[in-house]
Amino acid sequence: MKIREANSLDKNEILKFCKNTFSWGDYIEKVWQSWLNEGNLFLIEKKFPVGICHAFYFENQIWIEGIRVDQNHRRQMIASKLVTHIESIGKKNYKLFSYMLIDTKNKKSISMANTLDYKKIQTWNYYSLIPKKNLNFKIEFEKSINNDLFPFYVDSWRWIKTNKKILSELSLQDKIIKSDLNGKISLAIIGDYKHFDKTLIITLFSGSSNTLFDILSYLQNYAIKNNFERIQILTREKLDSFDTLEYKISFNLMKKSLF
């Protein structure tokens, strides 16, 4: 089996086994060109591609995403080989940690990750929210933030380890919003989804129902004003019922130390 970077000629062969990954289909076709442009879109082939995986290298971490294997070539450690290849490049470039996200119900992928020494460090929940005009909120832009509340923020479905510099830059862009009522605080980081048009992706910390509702109301209105069609919310909390808020799925955030 040979591992190499994908090119534009591989698209049709790869999409053949990236159509029915989930009950609703798959997203690989939508992100294909973006990942190809970024580089580090790896495939494994036996005369033709049988597996793919994309890597995003940032500061001292690796983010691994989009692992797909042709169902006719499973149980051959193809996914493991791709992940190990990505890690080896990371080590050569002094990356310290590798992360991936796995559906909490995907026992086979969790087992594969555990075999490669990945450990679950957190569970995250994904909710959708429909944009709409809404003026019933009171929020402020947060100018200082505790890293303990946001050790990660989600950027294009990549969990980025935060630091003071990252949080300061987000704050200067008015991307961190806060609702504070009677000492109960909810916070959110607003981001775009680089690979999907008109999609907001939100990292959220909920401190109470009232402050959560302020944040969600603001996000609905912000999305309408800025022509976003979808709001995707990632949070470690189970959120209270609100208007068009809908729970979708939960994920394990997996981590491996490379040294």
User: Count of H helices and E strands in the chain?
Assistant: 6, 14
Cβ atoms of 67 and 79 closer than 8 Å: yes
Question: 217: pLDDT confidence band, cut at 50, 70 and 90?
Answer: very high
Per-domain boundaries in the chain: 2-95, 126-255
Q: Write down the pLDDT at residue 257.
A: 98
Its pTM stands at: 0.94
Task: Read off the pLDDT of residues 179-210 as tens digits, 9 standing for 90 and up.
Answer: 999 889 999 999 878 888 899 999 999 999 99
Structure tokens at 123: 């569970």
35 three-state secondary structure: helix
Instruction: Tell me the average pLDDT of the chain.
Output: 94
In whole angstroms, give the CA distance from residue 81 to residue 79.
5
Task: Read off the pLDDT of residues 53-75 as tens digits, 9 standing for 90 and up.
Answer: 999 999 999 999 999 999 999 88
Name the CATH topology of 126-255.
Aminopeptidase (3.40.630)
In whole angstroms, give the CA distance from residue 97 to residue 55.
13
User: CA angle 17-21-23, nearest 5°?
Assistant: 140
Cβ atoms of 188 and 234 closer than 8 Å: no
Task: Read off the pLDDT of residues 136-155 as tens digits, 9 standing for 90 and up.
Answer: 899 999 987 777 888 999 99
Name the CATH topology of 2-95.
Aminopeptidase (3.40.630)
One fold for 2-95 and 126-255 = yes
